[in-house]
Amino acid sequence: MLPLPWGNGVLLGNGTKAWLIDPRSGGELGRWSLPEPLADTDNRPAFTLVDHDRCLAPYGHRSLAGIRLTSAHADPLFQHDADLAAAAPEFTGGVVLMRERGAGYVAADPENGSALWRVDVGQPLAGGVGRADKGFVMVSRSGVLFRLGSDGNLLERSSSVARVIAPRDLGAGEMMLITKGTLRVIRIDHSS
């Protein structure tokens, strides 16, 4: 998995271990143990920064741990009843969003790990969630945009482009869509 710059170091992980190293000396600054192996994200990000002291890491097939710079423990934060995609969770709009295997996302509270809502659009989703006015935007691999309210309710769907490989939130109500052979930027606020 890709390392994450965090604090004065770089966070790495393998198996049931995560550790923070000093990029200048290679010395270990911190180490955490997880109850199960980290999700195999296949050379993609696995860790998600929540704030200067907290980071999230998916482990096993259904779980998420919270890691703090100021603690030596990796604390279980969230346990789902279905398998999650082997991908880093996303933190946007004050919620943690985890992609399920298939067509859905589940949202959790970053403080206590309680499930807030779940959405299943019935189509395989491309990884990446955009932040829209008072809600979120998700994109299916076939290019359909789904606008959700802040409570996860589906508000609107619209066709965008052909096959989407990866969407990326650019902030300020814009989203970049990487498609086969193109790169597009779209407005995702209510005026679009």
Same domain, 127 and 183: yes
- Which of 35, 66, 89 is the last residue before a domain boundary? 89
- pLDDT of 163 strictly over 80: no
95 located within any domain: no
Look at residue 144 and tell me whether its pLDDT is greater than 80: yes
Residues 70 and 5 in one domain: yes
Q: In 3D, which of 76, 107, 102, 103 has the Cα closest to residue 90?
A: 107
CATH number at residue 25: 2.40.10.480
pLDDT single digits (tens) 23-35: 999 999 999 999 9
User: What does the alpha-carbon distance between residue 146 and residue 95 come to, in Å, rounded to a whole number?
Assistant: 18
Residue 11: pLDDT band with limits 50, 70, 90:
very high
Residue 22 lies in a domain: yes
Residue where one domain finishes, among candidates 68, 89, 110: 89
Kindly state the average pLDDT of the residues 114-124.
Answer: 90
pLDDT at 191: 44
| Number of domains the chain contains | 2
Same domain as 75, residue 18: yes
Return d(Cα 124, Cα 19) in angstroms, integer: 33
The confidence score (pLDDT) of residue 10 equals 96
Quote the domain boundaries for residue 34: 1-89
Of residues 140 and 31, the one with the higher pLDDT is 31
Q: Please indicate, yes or no, if residue 117 is contained in any of the structural domains.
A: no
Q: Is the pLDDT of residue 48 over 90?
A: yes
- Answer yes or no: is 97 within a domain: no
Residue 113 falls inside a structural domain: no
**Whether the predicted pLDDT of 190 surpasses 60:** no
Amino acid 189: pLDDT: 67
pLDDT at 169 (0 to 100): 79
Q: 60 pLDDT band (50/70/90 cuts)? A: very high
d(CA 69, CA 148): 33
Query: Residue 21 and residue 3: Cα distance in Å, rounded?
Result: 10
Query: What pLDDT, in 10s, does the model give residues 94-111?
Result: 999 999 987 789 999 999
Contact 187, 173 (CB under 8 A): yes
